[in-house]
Amino acid sequence: MEKDNVPQDKSNLTKNNVKELLYATDENGNYTTTLSTGWEPKTIALSNSIDEINERIAEAKQQVLNGEVSPIVYFMEVNKMDLTILASYVGFWKWRVKRHFKPSVFATLSDKILQKYANTFEISIEELKNSITK
């Protein structure tokens, strides 16, 4: 793509005055870098991904409020993690983290274990236990 033809569509990037670095060719056909504020197909895909993430967060919150899962599930979604990533951050086997998703098991976790989750989510143990129900 030629430098003059690099898309400058409005995107989520423009809200924060951020530009993306792209490679393009100059008038001599040599590769150079240029900035772009966005490209419509990429903007649509990014917007759809953000919408999906927000839906998953809302669903996780409702499941916590319904007593179906522990707050760990909600904070995992808020932090855009999956089971594998979360398990690696807290240093537990995946099956053990999945077990902590159960409200009955979560209620019995020690402060030492809860602190690992709190540190991972960058919140306090108190927030981990109570922030969703408020």
Strand 31-36 and strand 20-25: the pairing is antiparallel
CA distance 60 to 48: 18
Which CA distances in Å does 63 have to 14, 53, 56? 34, 15, 10
In terms of phi and psi (left: phi > 0; alpha: psi -120 to 50; beta: otherwise), the region of 29 is left
Tell me the pLDDT of the chain (134 aa) as tens digits.
666 666 666 665 556 666 777 788 888 888 888 887 766 777 788 788 889 999 999 999 999 999 999 999 999 999 999 999 999 999 999 999 999 999 999 999 999 999 999 999 999 999 999 877 65
pLDDT, residue 83, reads 97
The pLDDT assigned to 3 comes to 65
Same domain, 58 and 113: yes
Name which of 118, 113, 106 is nearest 69 in CA terms: 106
In a domain, 45, yes or no: no
In a domain, 46, yes or no: no
Specify the DSSP element, H or E, that contains 48.
helix 40-65
- Shared domain for 26 and 82, answered yes or no, is no
* Domains identified in the chain, total number: 2
Q: Which two tokens stand for residue 82?
A: 């999956």
Residues 107 and 58 in one domain: yes
Distance CA 134, CA 125 (A): 15
Considering the domain boundaries, does residue 48 fall inside one?
Answer: no
Query: Is residue 60 located within the same domain as residue 123?
Result: yes
- Return the number of other C-beta atoms located less than 10 Å from residue 120's C-beta: 20
- Does the predicted model carry a pTM greater than 0.85? no
What pLDDT, on the 0 to 100 scale, is given for residue 107? Answer: 96
Q: Could you tell me if 68 and 16 lie in one domain?
A: no
Residue 58 shares a structural domain with residue 90: yes
Q: Assess whether 7 and 71 both reside in one domain.
A: no
Together in a domain, 121 and 97: yes
- Domain extent, residue 72, equals 53-130
* Main-chain phi, psi angles of 110, to 5 degrees: -75, 160
Residues 22 and 72 in one domain: no
pLDDT value at position 126? 95
Q: Are residues 62 and 120 in the same domain?
A: yes
Residues 61, 96, single domain; the answer is yes
Q: Hey, what's the torsion of the CAs at 70, 75, 76, 80, to 10 degrees?
A: 150
Both 61 and 116 in a single domain?
A: yes
